[in-house]
Structures are given as structure tokens and as C-alpha cells.
Amino acid sequence: MLIGPRFKPFYAQDRGQDLGVKSWPPDAWKIGGGGVWGWISYDPDLNLIYYGTANPGPWDADARPGDNKFTAGIFARDADTGEAIWYYQFSPHDLYDYDAVNENILLDLPINGQTRKVVVRPERNGYVYVLDRTTGEVLSANPFAPITTTRGVDLKTGLLQYVEEKRPTRGKALRGLCPAAPGVKDWQPSAFSPKTGLLYIPHQHLCMDEEDVSVNYIAGTPYVGANVVMYDAPGGYGGEFTAWDPVNGKVVWSIPDHFPVWSGTVATAGNIVFYGTMDGWFRAVDAVTGKQLWQFKTGSGIIGQPITYKGPDGKQYVAVLSGVGGWAGAIVAGGLDPRDKGAALGFVGATQDLPKYTNQGGMLYVFTLP
């Protein structure tokens, strides 16, 4: 783990010896633990890299009492030596597969009259966090979608406040858990515009029902321990594209979508933001107002990341991959039965009608900008 004398987490619950062992049942590290499969960011001034860690296994939380360090959190490490400098756990003892693998947006923002070096994280647990990236202190944590599983983040302790009556246990089916397991936002990267000062977030708008069950570990087989069905959150739609003010911690504008917005996004100097939808629309919206400026129907759902670049001819281009898939698009990519709402770990429940709107595919689209 490369945790030594330089490791100084901001919060007491993240300090101590051998927390990666002591916060789990004995020998649980052999069959549980958590991975690293998301984004890595680098600060050349501080010479630190930042990355998030995934959910603890299994989903059945009764099988792993404790905070389950160092899952569902963020590490800051020395880029030369790999030594851990600080760590913060967004979701201790993660109850809902919320993970903490999302992108790390490194910004210098005016916070309470002072410019702070921060890392902004739109988290799966439903809060947009702004942390001091030198120390790991949580400066703000504000919700950006409906949340029933927690009631907020205590800024003094940094602790997520779970709602006890929404805590999954074996043999008890819980309804109305918001957000669902993919979180308010999964891995799909957001974008920041220095011109508007806004963060553009493609995300879900989902809830779920869950029942945890006992599960045995067999190497090479699924190790989950939960039955899940997902569905649209209040409002009757599955996703949103949101412009967020990270300084004031609030939504500026938002565009609802029938399905989860599972693509990335890119913001341009011309105050245009591009993103894609799971039913195959590639859209351009005004970065200030959110007004739709243009759209193009691609051959398949978009879960890729749009990019913009200047070509050798001097023209500006925007490109995106079209081809539905991943967890959200499994019903199409895997040909799953829409009647089985629990398929794809419950995601089919939220995307039953996706096959009516798009097809399998895989194509790169490139457009010129005027």
C-alpha cells in the first residue's frame, strides 16, 4: 500500500495502522477487497496523482462488517515514489455498490473568499464533492439528484450520513433506494469550462429495490450477494445532463433524458457542450443556457467520449464513438430479455424499452464545426 510516515489523512477515521486489514473480517482481503478501474489525474505543482477506488466485495454488506478500507475512496500519492499522502473515504462500508472511481477534476476555485486548490468529484453516492487537493478536507458536498439512502455529509467529520431504515440486510427487500447501484453518476466523465465556470455532468436519475442474500465465494464466478431491480427516479425519466456551479454548489440548468446519459461530454471555448444519449442522439447545447443548438442521430447508442481537435487543414472537428454497450446498454449489446428486470444486476429494469430506440453498432462519427 506504500503507507508510511508521509500519510496524513485529514479525518480521524482514515488514520491508523493496517486499516486495510482491521476494517474487514479476518482474511476477507483474500476474497473481497476493492479494485481500481477509473480515472487518474496528475497535479504537476504538487507532484501528486489522484485516483478513486471501487466498491468492496461482495455487495452483501452483512458479509463484511467494518469500514472496508480502502474501498470507495480517493488516494493522493507522490507521483515519483507512489507513497500515499492522504486518503478520504466517500462511502465507508459501501452499502449500495456506489464505488468511488469517478474522474478527478483539478481546479483552483474561489472558496469563501480564498483561492483553493481543489479536486471536484461528482460521486456515485449522489453528492458533488469539492475537496482541498493538498489535504483531503471536504469543503462542500451537495446533492445533484434525488437521494434517499443518505441524508448528507458531515463536513466536520467528513462522514456520509446513512439512513438506517434504508440499510440493506439479508432477507429484507428494501424499496425506493435512491440513487441506484450505478449511482447518480458512474464512470462517464464530466467537463469543466473555464469560460462559464460550470461543470457539465452526464448522469443517471435512477432508484432501485434491493435484497441482500448470502453468497459463497467460488473463484472465477460472480460474487455479488444482492438481488436488484432499477427504475426511473421521481419525475419519470432515467437520466439528465446537468450544468453545475461548483463554487456555490447548485444546479444552473438541467436537461432530462428518457435514459441514463451514459456518454462523456466536452466543453469548447465557443461555449458549446457536446454529449450523446443511449438512443443514439449526438447533441450540442449552449454552455450558458442549456438550449439545444444541434443534434444528429447516430446508428447506435452513445456511451463514448466526445473529443474536439484542430485538424491539419486548420478546421475544428468533434468526434464521438457510437455503439451501445456497457452495464447500462447490456440489454441491447447482450440481447437480454426485457421481461427479466433483474438482468444485468438489475439495470434491465431501467432500460426495458431501449431495444425499441437503438441497435447494436460501432462507428466513429466526425463532424466539422463552423
Residue 53's nearest CA partner among 68, 38, 64, 42 is 38
| Cell numbers linked to 48 | 501528486
- On the question of pLDDT at 29 being above 90, the answer is no
Averaged over 297-312, what is the pLDDT? 97
Q: With cut-offs at 50, 70 and 90, classify the pLDDT of residue 1.
A: confident
- 3-state class of 143 per DSSP? strand
- On the question of pLDDT at 164 being above 90, the answer is yes
Question: What does the mean pLDDT of the chain come to?
Answer: 97
- Residue 275: the pLDDT is 98
- Residue 65: the pLDDT is 95
Burial state string for 106-135 with b = 16 or more CB within 10 A and e = fewer than 16: bbebeeeeeebbbbbbbbbbbbbbbbbbbe
Distance CA 336, CA 352 (A): 9
Distance CA 138, CA 141 (A): 7
Report which secondary-structure segment, H or E, holds 20: helix 19-22
Distance CA 137, CA 132 (A): 5
**Measured in whole angstroms, how far is the alpha carbon of residue 222 from the centre of its chain?**
22
Q: With cut-offs at 50, 70 and 90, classify the pLDDT of residue 32.
A: confident
Q: With cut-offs at 50, 70 and 90, classify the pLDDT of residue 123.
A: very high
Q: With cut-offs at 50, 70 and 90, classify the pLDDT of residue 222.
A: confident
